[in-house]
Structure 1
Amino acid sequence: MLLSMVSLGEIKKIKELRGKDSVKTHLQSLGFLPGEKIEVISENPSGIILLIKSTKIAINKAMANKIVVE
């Protein structure tokens, strides 16, 4: 399942990152690593706000489509 499909309040675990190496590296630098738990805490038409490692991070839907969760 893609992160962009996760409902508000759900907690999922990151399975893999997709996209170019530069995109994967950027996501990893923000803490998006396989095995990390992630929670969707807010969403709007342009993106979502996530809680990962006790940090709130906002990403757009295109970036959320590159993160596979389970």
Structure 2
Amino acid sequence: MPLTLADVGKAYTIVRITGKDEVRTHLRNLGFVENGIVSIVSSINGNLIVEVKDCRMAMNESLARRIMV
């Protein structure tokens, strides 16, 4: 399922990253890699604050839909 459908506060394993090569590369550079752990800190109107590799960052809904957990 896409990260946008995940529950707040639970840890998930990233299964795959979809999208164009430049989008996948951008997400990998931010730390979103296959078999990595990601958790949602908060969700407001589909926009997320996520924690990956002990770092919190905000992302919009379209980018979060590219991350499959």
- TM-score interval, normalised by the smaller of the two chains: over 0.9
**Structure 1 counterpart of 2:41, one-letter code:** I
Aligned counterpart, 1:15: 15
Aligned counterpart, 1:42: 42
Aligned counterpart, 1:64: 64
Give the drift of 1:7. Answer: 1.1
TM-score (norm 1): 0.94
Give the drift of 1:46. Answer: 5.0
- Aligned-residue Cα RMSD (Å) equals 0.8
TM-score (norm 2): 0.95
- Fraction of identical pairs, as percent: 32
Aligned counterpart, 2:26: 26
Give the Cα separation in 1 of the matches to 2:32 and 2:57: 10
Give the Cα separation in 2 of the matches to 1:2 and 1:46: 11
Give the Cα separation in 1 of the matches to 2:39 and 2:32: 12
Deviating 4+ runs (over 4 angstroms): none
Equivalent pairs counted in the alignment come to 69
Aligned counterpart, 1:51: 51
Q: Which runs of 5+ in 1 are unaligned?
A: none
